[in-house]
Amino acid sequence: MEKERVRISVRNLVEFILRSGDLDNGRGTGDKEAMLKGGRIHRKIQRSMKGDYQSEVSLKRENEYEDVIIQVEGRADGIFTEEGQVFIDEIKGTYGNIQAMEAPIPVHRAQAMCYGLIYGEKEGLKRIGIQMTYSHLDTEDTRRFREDFSMEKLQDWYQKLLDAYHKWIAYSISWKKQRNDSMTDLQFPFPYREGQREIVSGVYHTVSSGRTLFVQAPTGVGKTMSAVFPAVRAIGEGKGETLFYLTAKTITRTVAEEAFRILREKGLKFKVTSITAKEKLCFLDTPECTPEKCPYAKGHFDRVNDAVYELWTTEEVYSREVIREHAEKWQVCPFEMCLDLSIWTDGVICDYNYAFDPNVHLKRFFGDNISGDYIFLIDEAHNLVERGREMYSADIYRGNIVTLHRKVRRLFPKLARTLDKANRQMQELEDNLGENGSEYQVLATPGPLPLTFLTISGQLEEILEDKNMEEELRKEILEFYFTVRDFLNVSELVDENYVVYTEKCGETDFRLRLFCVNPAVNLGEYLKKGKSTVFFSATLFPMLYYRELLTIDKDAYGIYVRSPFPIENRQIMIGCDVSSKYTRRNYSEYRKLAEYIARCVWQRQGNYMIFFPSYKLMEDVYRVYEEGFSAAWVRCIRQSSDMTERAREEFLEEFQSREGTLVGFCVLGGIFSEGVDLTGESLIGVVIVGTGLPQIGSEREILREYYNRKNHAGFDYAYRYPGMNKVLQAAGRVIRTKEDKGVILLLDDRFLGRDYEEIFPREWRDRSICRLDTVEGALKNFWKRFT
């Protein structure tokens, strides 16, 4: 068999094997401006060189081992000859004080040494020089360091470098063979439910052909295992490289972890990393990623490679607890160690952000010019529409500019002048809004502000190099720097899928917002870095709506899986004499809603969830319910807006009780309305108050107007579809298995309109209509079937 070939760039090789020192996130990163200025500096220096200076010289070298061929490649910034000596020139732009440098940065020097070896061998040289050229990004002051090497010394040094990398590659190859062998006889771990075989077949075909698939399947079908199993098999057959299971919520992440656990019990070998938020992994109360504040940050890079290698080669499951235990042992940052580990695992379970957010995506997988045969399984994909809009939107508040200007005007007058310029530009936009008389104003472009903020970004970057700055001021400057960086990143994305607008915020503040109306193009930039994508959810209807907002793949197709559960096991009713409309919110309507709830829960002992469109309406109806309809044998609990993770767990634990009747008052679209798995007697009824329509506001109205201009149903895209999605998710809490029995009561006469009839799922065709005086009789007849 032909040996496997592994390619790696010179830069990635030396930065991985030779990194050292402290982890320090307390400084700006200079993303956009540093890249732009760095490129200009490179080109300017290269053009200024005389004689035989060659720029951007492509070089590569292959090393053959017993099990693999490693190809290292890259481009030398410059190669030139001086007084008979050949030199490799490595150019770096920096905001740091280059005159204070005593020596070149080790990884920069190592890059030049790699190029020196490759070029020297190619040309048959005995000796070669390397030159490190550092240039300040603002002043363009330049400083150079030179060294002379014999080829023999470089060859010995390079071989040790490559051997250190080969250790990782050798284990990776050995592991993948074990992994693939473990799948030879791997079967679907359960008897197929109706619909599961269709999902398994669809996912496998999609991954094998590198396509995009939308799967709508009712809650309880077993979508997670039906998606994971064929994707894993495809990877074992060489049809994919890394499996990304992307979720919107922690609870769905645990479902994915459970699916992999079950497959491992059946013999699968598959290493999976679960990426947990930094705040939950950090050993400190508040993450402070600087060597001054965190002992795990100090010297982190001196130890992290050994920490990752040990964990990777000794474990297969990398839970939060396992990560923290090993990070503690090696005294490294658990979050950064987890990210490093993810490169070497077969699967990654993480939040959408780590794949799609331009500010926090995994640069190891999704950075510039990086891609792979990734398989994306996107769970609860209906959530990605709003999350995508938020990830690719950005805003600037005038109040933040004014506040920072006041604090820096004496210390940093140059920055203060630029902030003052930005403030004047914002003031002009605010004055125009006042003349308009509207709550918000749509603009054609953000005007000159991005250029002004580009200047501010560079000034902030330079200021943040000062280690002697007062701590509180540093934090405020760093926070503003990230806000500016985000705004600049998004400003480069603005196109026909954006609406730029200004609006007043409260009594005194004002903002400019770059609002991503349709995130499909931006999501597509990340999805195309992989091979195949599967979007799946219980609520992807209408599918055309989700296809338009989530993918630019014109060949994407969808499958609709019917519910495998007996239709006679559940009752769906619409209350035709009640509404949650604002115009009808009064004591009389609250009392009617409360009585509906009471009449529902009185018919059968068990656990119920009542969903409301807002905390305010929930509290209003709850008070009326308690005053007029409470019963000694009915216990009520309520969701609160400030619940901790433990409080949420305790709330759900209450539903494990089978004694008496429990009524949970919750908010539609909240943490308990989706992703919650309450089977059997844990939940026998759901009452949904209202149609779930989002509150009217500037952003919703902008969406409505935008889609009207696109000849779509603007109200549906902005309000009805997102609202109905919440309703369907909440209703899906009831029937989770074929043994489950329960009722779904929809309390709003708007559900009887044709617009809603057209978007109800097929399984709801047996829904019936009730009134307050008929609901009890209908429910009694339903429950009689099971006595």
Which architecture characterizes domain 567-784 according to CATH?
3-Layer(aba) Sandwich (3.40)
Q: What sign results for the dihedral spanned by CA atoms 308, 311, 315, 320?
A: negative
Element (H, E) at 523: helix 520-527
Lowest-pLDDT range of 97-101, 277-281, 291-295: 97-101
pLDDT above 50 for 29: no
Distance CA 664, CA 606 (A): 11
Element (H, E) at 454: helix 449-463
Q: What is the DSSP string of 64-101?
A: E-SSEEEEEEEEEEEEEEETTEEEEEEEEEESS-GGG-
pLDDT digits (tens, 9 = 90+) for 530-585: 999 999 999 998 999 999 999 999 999 999 998 888 999 999 999 999 999 999 99
Tokens of 242: 């890394």
What's the confidence (pLDDT) of residue 38? 66
Element (H, E) at 557: strand 557-560
Distance CA 750, CA 574 (A): 9
Residue 718 DSSP label: I
Cβ atoms of 76 and 57 closer than 8 Å: yes
Query: Cβ-count burial of 423 within 10 angstroms (0-12 exposed, 13-18 middle, 19+ buried)?
Result: middle
Q: What is the DSSP string of 627-669?
A: HHT--TTEEEEE--TT--HHHHHHHHHGGG--SSEEEEEEETT
* Mean per-residue pLDDT, 288-301: 93
- φ, ψ for residue 191, nearest 5 deg: -60, 135
| Residue 26 confidence class, pLDDT cut points 50, 70, 90 | low
What's the confidence (pLDDT) of residue 36? 56
The distance from CA 516 to its chain's CA centroid, rounded to whole angstroms, is 16
Do the bridges between strand 127-136 and strand 85-94 make them parallel or antiparallel, or are there none, so unpaired? parallel
Residue 719 DSSP label: I
What's the confidence (pLDDT) of residue 41? 74
Q: How far is CA 414 from CA 36, 371, 456, in A?
A: 21, 41, 10
pLDDT digits (tens, 9 = 90+) for 665-703: 999 998 899 878 888 889 999 999 999 999 999 999 999
Do the bridges between strand 68-82 and strand 85-94 make them parallel or antiparallel, or are there none, so unpaired? antiparallel
Tally of CB atoms within 10 A around 18 = 16
pLDDT digits (tens, 9 = 90+) for 134-176: 988 778 889 999 999 999 999 999 999 999 999 999 999 999 9
Name the more confident of 461 and 160.
Answer: 160
Element (H, E) at 755: helix 754-757
User: What's the predicted TM-score (pTM) here?
Assistant: 0.91
Distance CA 217, CA 257 (A): 20
| Residue 34 confidence class, pLDDT cut points 50, 70, 90 | low
Cβ atoms of 706 and 714 closer than 8 Å: yes
Distance CA 299, CA 291 (A): 8
| Residue 32 confidence class, pLDDT cut points 50, 70, 90 | very low
**Mean pLDDT value across the chain:** 93
Distance CA 537, CA 542 (A): 12
Give strand ranges (E) for 196-309. 212-216, 242-247, 272-274
Tokens of 510: 């004002």
pLDDT digits (tens, 9 = 90+) for 324-351: 999 999 999 999 999 999 999 999 999 9
Distance CA 300, CA 308 (A): 12
Which architecture characterizes domain 4-171 according to CATH?
Alpha-Beta Complex (3.90)
Could you tell me how many helices (H) and strands (E) the chain has, helices first? 28, 25
| Cis peptide bond N-terminal to 542, omega within 30 | yes
b/e 710-746 (16+ beta carbons within 10 angstroms → b)? eebebbbbbbbbbbbbbbbbbbbbbbbeeebbbbbbb
Cβ atoms of 380 and 227 closer than 8 Å: no
Tally of CB atoms within 10 A around 277 = 15
pLDDT digits (tens, 9 = 90+) for 216-244: 998 888 999 999 999 999 999 999 999 99
Distance CA 347, CA 228 (A): 10
Distance CA 178, CA 200 (A): 24
Helical H segments across 282-333, by residue range: 300-314, 320-330
Q: What is the DSSP string of 761-774?
A: -GGGTT-EEE-TTT
Which architecture characterizes domain 189-270+347-392+519-564 according to CATH?
3-Layer(aba) Sandwich (3.40)
As a dihedral over the C-alpha atoms of residue 373, residue 377, residue 381, residue 387, rounded to 10 degrees, the angle is -60
What's the confidence (pLDDT) of residue 30? 46
* Amino acid at the residue 311: L
Distance CA 574, CA 661 (A): 23
- Specify the 3-state DSSP secondary structure of 132: strand
pLDDT digits (tens, 9 = 90+) for 183-225: 999 999 999 988 999 999 999 999 999 999 999 998 888 999 9
Which residues are CB-contacts of 154 (< 8 A; sequence separation ≥ 6)?
113, 116, 117, 120, 128
Tally of CB atoms within 10 A around 274 = 25
- φ, ψ for residue 439, nearest 5 deg: -75, -25
pLDDT digits (tens, 9 = 90+) for 386-437: 999 999 999 999 999 999 999 999 999 999 999 999 999 999 999 998 776 6
Give percent above pLDDT 70 in the chain: 98
* Mean per-residue pLDDT, 511-520: 98
Query: Cβ-count burial of 645 within 10 angstroms (0-12 exposed, 13-18 middle, 19+ buried)?
Result: exposed
* Mean per-residue pLDDT, 774-783: 97
